[in-house]
């Protein structure tokens, strides 16, 4: 029997689409599908799980904690610092794992709702990729960190929104362009900082898959927004802006702060003022903005909103896909 927190249901409604023409029509998508077949890996056996991990070691430099050097940091003793590193790492990787479950379910929904055979094939490949990502994080959390946190409520809100949408293009926009674009940048920065070889290897493998997933979104939506109405366009812009604010401002490890008796609202204030965190958060959008532009969504309205978010500077960056 399932315990209360073992699972939960979310009512959704979206149209599924059959296709009756099975021949490939989209060469780019078909190539991506072929690449994906060649690049599968096994989460259970490919990473070197024999590597010993000390979850309390400085696997990520302490200086990357936004409140490093504040009075709250200085009040910690060596034992607290070791416990904090462990909890922080477990919290971040738990959120990655929950996000991967969201990606798993959205990719499976896309198999059903996209109206084109090449996209259905690729979405099926992505579904297998995402299952492997959930598996890899779960193994790392259970075997190496022996600690796990529940899904951050704001991440959950975003995943619920994407899963509940009826329009398939908005599932792509939410997952492949926004969430996975952000994840790709976050994984990249995480990987530059980490000194722990096992998680570095796992993250590198996941990133290679994620860059294909972002490419899948870009290829699938490439021509789509040329033909939508002004009203439909506004709905997409508003959703994109809302999701960006949520991803930038609300994904804080509040439960970890509470665990250490730290004042949450003050910690948010400190984090908001941290130059390092501001730069880190800005970099999270380095893949999203060029891809939104590439889809033809970056009009003057969205440009103004991205300007307010401080991320418009990325518009001419090389898109990741």
Whole-number Cα distances in Å, 286 to 120, 128, 222: 28, 27, 19
Quick one: 144 or 213, whose CB is closer to Fe ion? 213
Provide the sign of the torsion angle of the four alpha carbons 85, 254, 289, 35, taken in this order. Answer: positive
Crossing angle of helices 197-221 and 180-193, rounded to 10°? 160
Summarize as ranges the residues that interact with Fe ion (CB under 5 A).
100, 103, 130, 133, 180, 210, 213
Two tokens, residue 301? 């309205």
Quick one: 172 or 314, whose CB is closer to Fe ion? 172
Q: How far is the CB of 107 from Fe ion (least distance, A)?
A: 7
Cα gap 91→49, rounded to integer Å: 20
Q: How far is the CB of 60 from Fe ion (least distance, A)?
A: 20
**DSSP secondary structure string, 45-93?**
TSS-TTS---TTS-SS-GGGSTTTTSHHHHT--HHHHHHHHHHHHHHHH
What is the torsion angle, in degrees rounded to the nearest 10, for the CA atoms of residue 251, residue 302, residue 315 and residue 200? 20
Q: How far is the CB of 282 from Fe ion (least distance, A)?
A: 22
Quick one: 87 or 152, whose CB is closer to Fe ion? 152
Q: How far is the CB of 133 from Fe ion (least distance, A)?
A: 4
Quick one: 118 or 180, whose CB is closer to Fe ion? 180
Two tokens, residue 113? 């709702």
Q: How far is the CB of 79 from Fe ion (least distance, A)?
A: 35
Q: How far is the CB of 87 from Fe ion (least distance, A)?
A: 23
- Cβ atoms 110, 168 nearer than 8 A: yes
Quick one: 129 or 169, whose CB is closer to Fe ion? 129
Quick one: 118 or 130, whose CB is closer to Fe ion? 130
């Amino acid at each position: 029997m399932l315990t209360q927190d073992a699972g939960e249901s979310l009512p959704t409604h979206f149209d599924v689409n059959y296709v009756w023409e099975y021949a490939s029509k989209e060469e780019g998508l078909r190539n991506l599908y072929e690449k994906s077949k060649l690049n599968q890996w096994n989460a259970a056996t490919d990473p070197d799980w024999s590597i010993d991990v000390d979850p309390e070691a400085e696997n990520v430099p302490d200086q990357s904690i936004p409140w490093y050097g504040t009075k709250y940091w200085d009040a910690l003793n060596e034992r607290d610092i070791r416990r904090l590193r462990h909890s922080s790492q477990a919290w971040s990787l738990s959120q990655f794992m929950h996000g991967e479950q969201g990606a798993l379910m959205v990719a499976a929904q896309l198999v059903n709702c996209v109206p084109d055979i090449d996209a259905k094939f690729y979405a099926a490949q992505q579904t297998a990729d995402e299952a492997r990502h959930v598996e890899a994080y779960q193994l790392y959390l259970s075997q190496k960190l022996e600690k796990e946190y529940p899904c951050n409520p704001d991440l959950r809100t975003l995943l619920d929104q994407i899963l509940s949408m009826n329009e398939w293009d908005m599932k792509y926009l939410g997952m492949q362009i926004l969430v996975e674009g952000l994840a790709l940048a976050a994984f990249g920065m995480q990987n530059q900082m980490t000194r722990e070889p096992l998680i570095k290897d796992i993250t590198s493998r996941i990133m290679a898959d994620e860059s294909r997933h972002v490419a899948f979104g870009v290829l699938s939506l490439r021509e789509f927004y040329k033909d939508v109405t002004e009203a439909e366009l506004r709905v997409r812009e508003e959703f994109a802006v809302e999701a960006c604010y949520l991803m930038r401002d609300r994904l804080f490890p509040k439960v970890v702060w509470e665990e250490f008796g730290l004042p949450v609202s003050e910690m948010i204030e400190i984090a908001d003022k941290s130059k390092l965190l501001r730069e880190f958060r800005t970099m999270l959008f380095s893949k999203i903005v060029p891809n939104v532009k590439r889809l033809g969504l970056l009009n003057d309205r969205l440009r103004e909103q991205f300007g307010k978010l401080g991320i418009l500077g990325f518009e001419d960056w090389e898109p990741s896909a």
